[in-house]
Chains A and B, each alone.
Chain A
Amino acid sequence: MLQKSRKITFILAIISAIIGVMLTVQLRSSLHPVHKESRSIAELRTTLQKELEKHKNLLADISKYNQLYYQYETSLSEDESISVMKEELARNRRMAGMVAVEGEGVVLKVVDAQIPEEPILDENMTAPVVGEYTIDDEDLRWLVNILFANGAQAISINGHRLISTTAIRNVGDTIQIDTRTIQPPYELKALGDPEVLLSALKLEGVEENFQLANKKVLAEKMDKLMISANNETRTIQYMKPVKEKGDS
């Protein structure tokens, strides 16, 4: 009987222990969330308001900094593009012959070859010989073409800078470059690699060709050669830039 009652109390103890565990678990799990939810709606509302305000401020900050960033970027690119444009413009002006340029190059002087002229004059009559042996526009064009073909970047004939639309032609007995008459002796200045230019002239047989006209080409290498600008005013009349699609 005593043993039985002890057994019963033991069982009761176990059961009550289980009950205790359940009680504490219930207490714990209900206490903790209760603490979370015990804040009143007004309190929650004010905190929400605060957070919303903070959020708004942060958004404003973001937009501000974005704007700043955009400004910096645009100003940067504008500066850059302006400098790029300036550079490009300067380059184009140089290429178009609108500014005086200098550098190494060669000076070619087409002069009368005195020595062979004398016997010819002696053998024949003076007048027809002179007419036959003059240098015409074709010779100069040929010379200029050789120079350009071999890397000359700027050429002037008797101080007239050649540009892309320059014409060299005979007008009567004289040669005109564009509309300006030039007189012999002809002097060509070309900017480029002197070695290349001179060897090209030699290769093309300039010497011999001019010899036929009783002329001599005196070539001179120059370390520092100045070629003045083309100072004719040109009006653009017949050409318009083609607008490409996507080009604003």
Chain B
Amino acid sequence: MWLPLIGLIVGLAVGFLLDWRVPQEYSSYLSIALLAGLDTIFGGIRSFLERTFNVRIFLSGFFFNTLFAAGLAFIGGFLGIDLYLAAIVAFGVRLFNNLAVIRRIVLSRWINQQD
């Protein structure tokens, strides 16, 4: 259970050590991809708590969502439409939904344990 947290810390450390920098014009794509990744993570946690977790769905969701979000923002930049807003809204909403579901599940479990 602690392994993902350790992985996150390791990832942060690697990111700091690598000292990569994305040019200003591409940072919005990365932020979208990041949001998608976070959404997928939370979706994964939720499905894990709901016991419907599937590794394949999770993995494909993670990569597909990040790439598609970045690609959508990219295409939007070409078309002159702020498509990344759509991605942000969609992923934001999903993020909050997922968080809400996780919170409910955790709370109900805690209440059940109390009882």
Contacts and interface: CB of A to CB of B under 8 A. Distances in A.
A21 to B, nearest CB: 4
Interface stretch (A8-16, A45-53, A139-147, A226-234): A8-16
A119 interface: no
Contact of A11 (B18, B31, B55): B55
B49 interface: no
Contacts of B33: 22
Contact of A20 (B14, B40, B55): B14
A29 B55 contact: no
Contacts of A21: 11-12, 14-15, 18
Interface stretch (B20-28, B82-90, B97-105): B20-28
A17 B11 contact: yes
Contact of B12 (A11, A14, A24): A24
B9 interface: yes
A7 interface: yes
Interface residues of B, number: 38
A23 B44 CA distance: 18
Chain A, interface SS category = helix
A32 interface: yes
Given A26-B30, A26-B34, A20 B24 contact: no
A30 interface: yes
A25 interface: yes
A14 B21 contact: no
A149 interface: no
Contacts of B55: 7-8, 11
7 contacts: A12-B7, A15-B41, A16-B4, A17-B14, A20-B10, A23-B34, A24-B14
Interface of A: 7-30, 32-33
Given A15-B62, A29-B24, 10 more contacts: A8-B55, A13-B4, A13-B6, A13-B7, A17-B14, A20-B15, A21-B12, A22-B37, A25-B30, A27-B15
